[in-house]
Each structure stands twice: as structure tokens, then as C-alpha cells.
Amino acid sequence: MLTTLSSAATLLLASALAGTTANAQVVVNGQIFTNGLAIVDAPQPGTTLHAGATQSVAIDISGDGHLPTDSSGPDSGSPTHFDSLEIYLTSFATSFNLTVSSGPSLLTQEPGSTVKHVNWLIDSCIPSGNYNLTFYEGSHINSDAFFTITPLPIEIENTNSSPSKCSNGTNTIQAFPQAQSAPSHSPWLDANNSTSNVQYPSVTNDATRQAVSCLVAVTALLAFMW
């Protein structure tokens, strides 16, 4: 049990110290609420994935049922809508940046579905280590434009100790920290990190600005273990 907690703490600490941002990530009933509109259903933070395997990445774009179905693209007439949503596998420490999903396809696929999926084949060239599955979201909330970066820490295991260097889908690592203009908290959570009392949407609730960041979560976890 202690080993499992220690591993999770290490991944979260790596995200807080070596990731792109220190955005708040609040887990409610197994869903990861970003500071933007997106809610990540899978994978969970700290999940160990395996090179050569396929992993489903699932994102709820309905705002926990608050958003109308026409809010999933830049042409939406809704004052709160997605403009873009892309996913990259990144490691600032090792200068690694690999495309998982880019362009408009993620938001436009699976018409009518409020949960979008990426069946991600984890390339066998990816070496073992700690990474961020990083979500880049452009959106409008109450007609205000935002750009939100959310790193979700994961671990990848590769049975090949000397994999070939990745060549497809690789990108230049971005400068750290990356510039963003994100809300200070998820618009779908209230002051108690609950979804039950949130009016659509609620980005101006000052109390919700107390959302716990990854670094605070790590500190509490390490204090518990030690």
C-alpha cells in the first residue's frame, strides 16, 4: 500500500515540478475536472500504461450535462463553448513531446456523443518513465476567451530497455512554463468541489478558487506517508 502511495506521489510531484503548469485538478467521482470546460474520464492520474498497448482517453465535453450539444466547436453560437481541444504526451525533463490528438477531429468525431474518445496506440518507441498527458483547451466561458493547459501525470512502462527513437508525431518541447489564460477553477464545481449546486456556468464564484492544486495534493500525501 505504501509503495502504491509513494508511486502516485512521485508522479504527482513530477507533474507539479516538471510539468507545463500547476493547474488545479479536482477528482470527483472518478472524473478529473480541469480548470477549463473539459472533464477527463480516463485515464486516471498515476495510471501505469504500457508501450505497444492501446489506451482509451475519454473526455466529457458536456460540462457534466450543463452544455448544449452545439457547444463543441468554434462555430457555436453559445457564449460558453469549446474552440479547440488537443492532447500531447510530454516530459519537460526529457524534452519529449508526442502528439496524441491534434486538430479539430477530437471535438467533431462521434457526433451526438457528449464523451469523446481517443483510442491511443502507445508507440513502442516511448521509453519507460513519468509523463504528462497534457490537454490543451481553447474555449469561451460566458463569452470570455480562455486557453487552459492541464497536465495529467501518468507512467509508461516499456519492456524494451532500449527502444528506437520516436520519429512520427514528435514535436519541439515548448518553453517552461507555457503561457496560458485559464480560469482559476473548474466552472462546473462549487466551493465544496461538488457538482450538485453549480449554476451554469460558475466561473466567478470566489470560494471555488480554493480548488486544490496538484502540488498541494502531493504535499498532503507525502505528509500522510511520512
Residue 93: pLDDT above 90?
Answer: no
pLDDT tens per residue across span 173-183? 877 667 788 88
Residue 131: pLDDT above 50?
Answer: yes
Residue 17: pLDDT above 70?
Answer: no
Q: What is the pTM of this model?
A: 0.76
**Rounded distance, CA 85 to CA 105, Å?**
9
Position 149 confidence tier, pLDDT thresholds 50, 70, 90: very high
Position 223 confidence tier, pLDDT thresholds 50, 70, 90: very low
Do residues 73 and 84 touch, judged by C-beta distance below 8 A? Answer: no
**Rounded distance, CA 114 to CA 65, Å?**
8
pLDDT at site 135:
96
What one-character-per-residue DSSP string does 45-113 give?
TT-EEETTSEEEEEEE-STTTTS-GGGSSTT--SSSEEEEEEEEEEETTTTEEEEEE-STHHHHSSTT-
Do residues 23 and 33 touch, judged by C-beta distance below 8 A? Answer: no
More confident site: 5 or 129 = 129
Residue 146: pLDDT above 60?
Answer: yes
Average pLDDT over residues 91-117: 93
Find all residues with CB under 8 Å of 37, minimum gap 6, and list them. Answer: 61, 63, 67, 80, 81, 82, 137, 139, 141, 187
- The conformation of residue 207, written as its DSSP 8-state character, comes to G
Structural domains present in the chain: 2-225 (2.60.40.10)
Average pLDDT, the chain: 79
pLDDT at site 203:
41
In which element (H, E) is residue 146 found?
strand 144-157
pLDDT at site 3:
41
All three cell numbers of 47: 495510471
Residue 152: pLDDT above 90?
Answer: yes
pLDDT at site 69:
87
pLDDT tens per residue across span 18-44? 333 445 578 888 999 999 999 999 999
pLDDT at site 92:
87
Average pLDDT over residues 79-89: 96
pLDDT tens per residue across span 164-219? 999 889 988 877 667 788 888 899 988 677 775 555 554 433 333 333 333 334 33
All three cell numbers of 59: 473526455
Average pLDDT over residues 51-56: 97
